[in-house]
Amino acid sequence: MSLTDVTTWEITKKQYRYKLKSYFGVFSSLVAIQLLAILFSLNGTGMSGGSSGTFSYDVNYYTGDIIQVLVMIWAFITAIIITTKAYRYDDYSFVTNRLISHYSNILFLFSASILAGIMVFFTGHLFRLITILLKNTDSIMVSELTLLGTLKGITASILYIFLCASIGYFVGILIQLNRLFSFLLPVLFVGALFVDGMNNDPTVFPSIISFFGSENFLFLFILKIIMASALFYILAISFSNRMEVRP
């Protein structure tokens, strides 16, 4: 029987298609998490008010930020889940190698991030509609929506989600390499938060957040996120290349 030659890209596409079908549960959890986020957001994020004589007013702020944050956590957890044995072994029932497994996972996470980012945008609007219907309001002020602004917003949302997924993927691979990391990483993270804020002047974490969070120039922002996620994926790939299958 003659041997067939296949290319990495060819099999990556097939694995990716297989994953879109077989990781379906990931998407149902995405919907569930967004419904939960709407519920959490209904209380509003801020409130102010005032009065003068017989005149008084209350201002309530409602934003979809919680939705974005919860979806970012969802991406982090999803990425960890697809590095677990149950998911890794599924790949090997068909043609693959370690690199293709990673490539198709990254492609999958990227598509899931795109879908999640678009959904966050729509859920944000759904949530505003719900508040209008539910809350007793006299007047509503919304920030203006331009097409360009919307596209920028969605892009940023997608990239933040993707960044979280890449961190989750890296963490997941570390945990797969050694169980100790599942205990060590949270300890290190929380510990670092404490150490950073010890003299009431945290510097490291705020500067990391503002590095990704307050970039006004879109192109630079995209570059930052892509570089950071690429770094996490490259680390994950190089750490796991000698991993055995079903040992």
Counting Cβ atoms within 10 Å, is residue 154 exposed (0-12), middle (13-18) or buried (19+)? middle
DSSP string, 61-75: E--SHHHHHHHHHHH
Q: Name every residue whose Cβ is closer than 8 Å to that of residue 55 and which is 6 or more positions away in sequence.
A: none
**Size, binding site for another protein by CB under 8 A:** 34
- Which lies closer to another protein via its Cβ, residue 86 or residue 187? 86
Binding range to another protein, per CB under 8 A, among 52-60, 75-83, 93-101, 169-177? 93-101
Interface with another protein includes 173 (CB under 8 A)?
Answer: no
Of 98, 119, 111, 115, residue with least CA distance to 17: 111
From 63, 73, 90, 153, residue interacting with another protein (rule: CB under 8 A)? 90
Contact call for residue 32 and another protein (CB under 8 A): no
Sign of CA dihedral 20, 26, 29, 34: negative
Answer yes or no whether residue 50 interacts with another protein by CB under 8 A: no
The stretch near another protein (CB under 8 A) out of 11-19, 138-146, 152-160, 185-193 is 11-19
Among 34, 68, 78, 96, indicate the residue that binds another protein (CB under 8 A): 96
d(CA 82, CA 86): 8
Tokens of 47: 């409130």
Per CB under 8 A, the list member of 31, 95, 118, 223 interacting with another protein is: 95
Q: Report whether 155 contacts 222 (CB < 8 A).
A: yes
Instruction: Check binding of 227 to another protein (CB under 8 A).
Output: no
Site for another protein, rule CB under 8 A: 1-6, 8, 11, 14, 17-18, 21-25, 86, 89-90, 92-100, 241-242, 244-247
